[in-house]
Amino acid sequence: MKVLKRRYLAVSIDSHETLGSRDFMDAVWGAVSRLFGEYGASQAGLSLIDYDETKKLAIVRTGHKTLEMVRTALASISQIGKKPVALHVLAVSGTIKALHRRLEEHSVS
């Protein structure tokens, strides 16, 4: 049996306008597909775990082998729905609990 290792990314959404979770994920899927094709997108196993419009923070899950591919796709996004945006990966972890712990450390320092 093949064990799938997952990685969780905390993504900061730098935009003057509020964006919905659906628009965010559509942009992420679009970027992955555009850069790596349909096969690459199917390998990524992307999933939105949490989305906070007020904090402008998203938590995205992917496979550990496709982590760099997803990071590249996130960096390539400059617009979501004709609105200018910049996405920044704040932290990456193998568990959601550890990701939250790293985010707390990041905000304290």
Q: pTM for this one?
A: 0.90
pLDDT at 2 over 70: no
Q: What is the pLDDT of residue 106?
A: 74
pLDDT above 90 coverage of the chain, percent? 79
Q: What is the pLDDT of residue 1?
A: 53
Nearest Cα to 25, choosing from 74, 78, 63? 74
Over range 49-78, report the average pLDDT: 95
Q: Classify domain 6-108 at the CATH topology level.
A: Alpha-Beta Plaits (3.30.70)
- The pLDDT tens digits for 68-82 are 999 999 999 999 988
Task: Please provide residue 58's backbone torsions phi and psi, each rounded to the nearest 5 degrees.
Answer: -125, 145
Separation CA 50–CA 42 (nearest Å):
21
